[in-house]
Structure 1
């Protein structure tokens, strides 16, 4: 066995993930979420092609995608204090006739965290528990979803003339409120962790890599390594 910080752990590592293919229904296909921000040599995006194939209005297509991908992230956070690192490579979308039907999260343990100090966890997954200051908890949505993925998807759709960024973020806000209205018992959590706050801290992920290209964060204290510089305006604030 090697030391937990040994460079050989990643040098010689491999990831084994269960194939989602057996779970497909008739007419369904798979795509990594990263493919949504792919743009070809003519400036056309894969997301735009899916919207065209679906026959839906762009905002309606976006709403279907958000309900499949984004709403479960909100519920995991607010109901269970459970967060992921749901960037494009970690999420597989199930698509039918150009419409995103559901999202598959198949992740490794170092990118999943339970932030509830009182949660009862089986011994085998106890290492997922982390301590994160309250003011940094929502960065799991604001940074990983809004800043690291949605802003690129929004920009691509706007550049193609498919959906203006104003309409993109308005739809995100509407889906957020739809979720909140569906679980009124979590109202106190919504007030404590406000998705519509005016701004959020800018977390500079590239600085983590530049500072230490062997280990971005200490998994026992992931928030302690964050490089926070200034703030970003929350694109759904006031909507």
Structure 2
């Protein structure tokens, strides 16, 4: 049975891609077919094949269904800046309609476990009038929220969860991803999130000096089983 989710984060560098890659890796280990998409990516490097984004490549590495790079990451920009600014500078007009059409190619592959990853946080502009959250609304997929656990994450997590729910989408759950190895009162912060977040905690991923997909998969196996069975 195909399951697809939109994965977002509380902020830039919350660890969306690392957690997404770990979930895909865990799904592969559970003998499920996997596929992921990063529709818009800034901070790409020029290669002999064209612009390539390290996040998109990490998702491709954990996808058992292989698509051309241009279908996994149709909008790639070199500067590591906000997507709408990067698009303007490149002379590209981003729209929810175009992103939606591109996503349908991925979703039509009918992989057992598909992730479509946003950029930055929830309310990231893609133009003067539209946001990446509008794209998520158009897709009507349940959302997985990656909480980058650091000082201030409780506020970021609660506001993001509220925005997702207010946009009429299902918050399938959240993943606590410890990105600050020196986070003070870590246990207390996690307990507060567990108490106040309006969705289940799918997994707690400790700070990992080497956050490989395989290492993260060890911590998200149950999360992957839970969301796929929903």
Query: Larger strand proportion, structure 1 or 2?
Result: 2
Q: TM-score, normalised by structure 2?
A: 0.27
Q: TM-score, normalised by structure 1?
A: 0.26
Rg larger in structure: 1
